[in-house]
Each structure stands twice: as structure tokens, then as C-alpha cells.
Structure 1
Amino acid sequence: MALCISALLGGCQTPLQALQEQASRHQQRLEVIHTPHFPLMVALPSSAPVSSRIRVYLEGDGHAWATSRQPSLDPSPHDLMMARLAFSDPVPSVYLARPCQFVSARACTPVMWTDRRFSPEVLSSLDQALDQIKARLGNQAFELVGYSGGAALALLLASQREDVAQVQTLAGNLSPRQWVALQQLSPLTGSLDPLDRRQRLTQIVQRHFVGSDDRIVPPQLLARYRDALGTARCLQAVVVPGARHGSGLEQAWRRWRDQPITCQP
């Protein structure tokens, strides 16, 4: 109640209400995609775009933790940066939320947005969502854009699909295993790691944006990822001066998003 009273001037919205408002403002339609494991919230263009490639903005971990030790009861993101970027992108784009964000199901328990946030069933749900988006919009290829933990899932999806043209990430958790080691956290039991598919990832065209002042996913993680990946012909890193995990990346993204990714001969 106190939080709502203090937020009256800005409106006391739930994350879903805020997403609905943004989608309506930008003529996007919200739908729920059903998969065997989880229903997933997606925002699609009002009319099917005429394009062979669709850019999919994959949400981050959202509000996974209420405190440093207590998982939240609802992982829906409070900051809708990825939705804003998707809705304002001039190229055909889709916003795809993570399991249990904005829409719940019986399988939605806190372990699914904490330790098992990168689990096989989470990956399978997103993979099937891409299949359904492709069937709906008629595109031939995807570009995946992952924020924070969404970056790991974007890389995992790219490693197993043949229709992902490139991956871009913002403040990306590129390797959960390296990340927990760097931050001295407990291992994410039940989660997958992109670096276990490094041979395939070396062939993926990818660009990673990281904030120089990001303490949640610090720039050192990108360095560890590159070292562990080894030779990658088409990997570009952009360090954004002064940017943090949830701020300072949007302007850099808009400046760089459509520039070709540099590949070595």
C-alpha cells in the first residue's frame, strides 16, 4: 500500500499492465504462446512484416530475486527496456518474455527463475516459441538479441538452430558457469552453459555490448567468454563507457544495432 501511495504520480501498474500500455502505444499485440513446458508472453507487430529476417528481443532474468537471498514470487521485469527497444526498432521485431514472466503456470516455481533459469525445459520452450513465431510471420531467419540472462539463452538457441543469422547481447551473461565463479556465487544447478557448445558458437556471428561500470555482469565476464571460446571469426565486443547493468546501454544499442558485425578473414 505504501509503495502504491508513493507511486501515485507515476501510476501504480503491475508489470503486465505496463507492458500492455507500451504495446498498445506502439501498435503491438500481446499474445501467449503455448508450449509443453511453459506459456510465453510475446509481442508481435500488428500486421505481418514483409521481411526474411525477424529480430527477436529476448528478455533478461527480470525480477528474479526479492532480496539477495529470497527469490521473488513473480519474475516479471519491472524495467521494460527490452520491450522499449523492440517496439521502437524500425526493423521487423518481436519481444519475447522468459518463462513465468507476465504469465504463470503450474510449472512456475522459484527454482525456474533462479537455479534452473537456463534449464533444458526453459530452452525448449523458447525454441518452440521461435518455431511458432516463424510459422506465424513467415520469416526465414532470426536475429536474436538477449539482455542479461537472456544472452545465455540466445547463444544456446543459436547453437542448436540453423536459422539464426546472428546474435547480439546487452549486458549479457554469456556463460553462467563463468559468471558464478567470477561473482563467487553458488552454481546454477540444472542450468545449461553456452560454452559447452563452444565448437558451434565459434561459427556464430555475434556482437556483445557491456557496460564499463556494470557490477552485475562485469566486463571481465566477456573477456573470460572470449578466452574460453577460443578462435571465433565473427565476434565483436563493444564496451560502453559509464554504462551499468540497467542503464546507459540503450543509446549505444540504437547507434550500433544495424551496423554490420566485423568478421576476420
Structure 2
Amino acid sequence: MTHRCAGMPGFLLALGMLAIAGCQSPRENLETLAAAHGQRVEVLQTRDYPLAYSAARIPAAAPLLRVYLEGDGRAWATATQPSLDPSPRHLMLAQLAFDDPQPSVYLARPCQFVTAPGCTPAMWTARRFSPEVLVSLEQALDQLKRRYGNQAFELVGYSGGGALALLLAGRRDDVRQVQTLAGNLSPAEWARELELTPLQGSLEPLQYRQRLATIAQRHLLGGDDRQVPAAVAAYYRRQLGAASCAQFVSIAGASHEQGWAQAWQQWRSRPLPCANSQQ
């Protein structure tokens, strides 16, 4: 593997060593973070897209496995140019997963940290919530269930991972609860609010609104989040209805990427609305 740091002149070597972290690939950064927590990044092979994941030692047949679903990552290099690599540079969600004492798995999205023939920019831009993406994630959950023997899942989605968590909960009968951080709960409404081109080829969680209304869920919203405005969660809440099992919490001072470590530590283990009825 060749890096930009290779071939560095000798007189710059000392300076280069100070900046070596900046020369690592996103996959190497994830592996370094995982190793610091006694974990190892592995790959789940699904039909279309291999998925990177990492898990702590999980007790055999844990009744509920918490799966952290990564956000959209670096979908765009500029406002008009898609990124060539959607792997997240900011590993906030992986850090939260690795710090979680509960049996947990960190699961990346298709084309993040590992590539495949189908990895084209459309898969992390317009089609980021497409049926192909959902199928790969569902197959990954099936494999995790066979590997760890859990009976059910709790899905924790960050940013666009929130939309995927809800889509999976709407399609599966083994997702008992969902939590999101700065979650994009309605990609269609999100595009309208920000006056963006609609995500052609992507699915909308609210197509499963009747089922989602019965799922125990909590959505932590950044009080200073400008990337996913509070109006998106408000729209999702109205569409779900007042009788739903959803809780919405605004985290003061949290932006889209900052302020989540302390908030998650406070909220991750609190009981969710309707959780007892989902057992």
C-alpha cells in the first residue's frame, strides 16, 4: 500500500513522523482506534458489498445486541463534487461504540473502509438509502445474529445511519429498539428543508410509519445542528403520531459532529418508551 508519506526526504522525516496520523488511510485510522480498545476490524461478506465491523468480546447468546450504524461519512468532497471515498474521517461513532460497556458492534456502511465493484459515487450520494444498501445491512445483521446468538437488536444510528436504523426496524421483526444521534429521520423531508435535490433511488423510513410507531425509540437532536435541522425530526414526529413509542431529546450545545460523547454516556442506558412492551 502506498501513502503520500512514502519517499519523504530525510530532513523532513522527523517532521513527517509527527504528522503520521494524517497520512494514514481511513481504514488504518479505524484499525488504530479499534486496537487501542482491544478490538480488531473485520469484514462481513454480503451479496453486493463487504462491510467493515468491529466488536468487543460479546457474551454467548446475549439477548440484545447493540449495533452502531455509521453516518454518511464523507459523501461529498465539495458542494458539487462527490467524494471518491465515503469513509468517515471523524470516527466519533466508532469511539462511542468502543467505549460502550454493553455488548455492541460498530458497523460501517457499504463502501466505507472497504471497496467493491459496485462502489460508485451514487451509492453514497443519491442512493445512500437504496434497497441495495438495506439488503447488505440486513444480511450483515443476519450474520451477526448467527455469530453471537442474540435474539434481537438495538440499532444506534448516527446522522444518515439513523434513517437506515429506522428502515431496518420497519423491515425486520427482530429490531426491538432504535436510538439515533443527530439522525436524519426523514431523508425526503431533509432534502426539502435544505432545498437539495431529492435522493433518487433512496427509500424513506416513513413508508413504514405504522410499524415504526410501535418501535421503542429515542432520538437525540443537536441543539446547534445545522446539517440535520430540528424541523426534520419535528416532521417525522408528526407523521408518526402522538401515540407512538418515540422520544425526542434536544441536546443543548451539540452540533452535528460535536457534543455527543457526554450526551450519549448519559442517555445510552436509560429505558426507552414502550421498551417493556417490546420484550
TM-score, structure 1 normalization: 0.95
1:183 pairs with 2:191: no
Which moved further from structure 2: 65-74 or 226-235? 226-235
- What is the rounded CA distance, in whole Å, between the counterparts of 1:18 and 1:49 in structure 2? 29
Q: Equivalents in 2 of 1:25, 1:169: separation in Å?
A: 25
Please state if 1:168 is matched with 2:179. yes
Decide whether the 8 Å contact of 1:202 with 1:231 is kept in 2: no
| Aligned positions of 1:1-265 closer than 5 A | 8-9=18-19, 11-12=21-22, 13-46=24-57, 48-49=59-60, 51-263=62-274
Cα displacement (A) at 1:48: 4.6
Contact 1:210 1:219 in 2 (8 A): yes
2:21 corresponds to which letter in structure 1? G
How many residues align? The count is: 264
Contact persistence 2:57–2:103 (CA under 8 A): no
Q: Is the 8 A contact 2:122 2:128 kept in 1?
A: yes
List per-residue Cα deviations over 1:22-76 (Å, max 9, x = no partner).
1111111221111111110011224555521110000000011000110000000
Contact 1:29 1:46 in 2 (8 A): no
Distance in 2 (CA, whole Å) between partners of 1:47 and 1:236 is 28
1:7/1:148 CA distance change after superposition, 3 Å: farther
Percent identity between the two aligned chains:
58
Q: Which runs of 5+ in 1 are unaligned?
A: none
Shift of residue 130, structure 1, vs aligned partner:
0.2
Contact 1:42/1:95 (8 A) holds in 2: yes
Question: Per-residue deviation at 1:249?
Answer: 1.7
1:194, distance to aligned residue in structure 2 (A): 0.3
Runs of 5+ unmatched residues, structure 2:
9-14
**Whole-Å Cα distance in 2 between the matches of residues 6 and 232 of structure 1?**
58
Shift of 1:233: 3.1
| 2:40 partner SS | strand
CA root-mean-square deviation = 2.0
Distance in 1 (CA, whole Å) between partners of 2:107 and 2:34 is 12
